[in-house]
Amino acid sequence: MDSRLKMSRAGHFMYFAFGSNLLKERLQLANPSAIFCCTGRLKDYVLKFGLWEQHVDNRWHGGVATIEFCPGEEVWGVVWTLSNENLMSLDNQEGVSQGMYSPLEVTVDTDNGPVVCRTYQMNHFHTCPPSPQYKQVFLCARAHTHKGSKANLHVTCVLIYLHTHVMHSSLTATPPPKHLNECCITKY
């Protein structure tokens, strides 16, 4: 068996969350089998906020998180274990059938070694700052993660980034500094 798959079980898949699905309560609304596994780092990607096809009228009323390939960057997030029965509901939540996001298979570095995970990347991405409602999800995720954990520090870093680079800007957001996640995680 491939060592990268050692954390998954038959009938289950691993999912890497970096946006609103950092919050367990949000993810479990449509995917009740979701169980926290660990935190992880996705290399060579960067976190972005924006809209699909410039559709401003979405349920969040602003930009949402996505990842974009960017050599040398990294995104921290949470690895969840989900039952295969929730694969379709997760795809539906991410708007796969509408063409909003595409599923990707990525390798996420964890304390227990690399893990192959499903994640999602926005199609036809257009930069747009997130709404206060979307920012609130990150505040809730921070409140519900163990203080001092890498997950908590990741959410804290995202909130700092949102506050200083996105929330007070117009439709263009400045990219996060490369060291943002690194400096927050190394303070752990």
Tokens of residue 159, six digits? 């909130």
What are the residues facing 60 on neighbouring strands? none
Give the integer Cα–Cα distance in Å for 118 and 103: 7
The full 3-state SS of 28-52, as one line of letters, equals HCCCCCCEEEEEEEEEEEEEEEEEE
Largest CA distance in the chain: 49
How many of the other CB atoms lie within 10 Å of CB of 170?
8
101 assigned binding-site residue: no
Give the integer Cα–Cα distance in Å for 114 and 90: 22
Catalytic residues: 94
161 assigned binding-site residue: no
Question: Do the Cβ atoms of 99 and 123 come closer than 8 Å?
Answer: yes
Give the integer Cα–Cα distance in Å for 81 and 12: 7
18 assigned binding-site residue: yes
16 assigned binding-site residue: yes
20 assigned binding-site residue: yes
What is the length of the chain?
Answer: 188
Annotated binding site: 15-20, 134
Annotated binding site for substrate: 15-20, 134
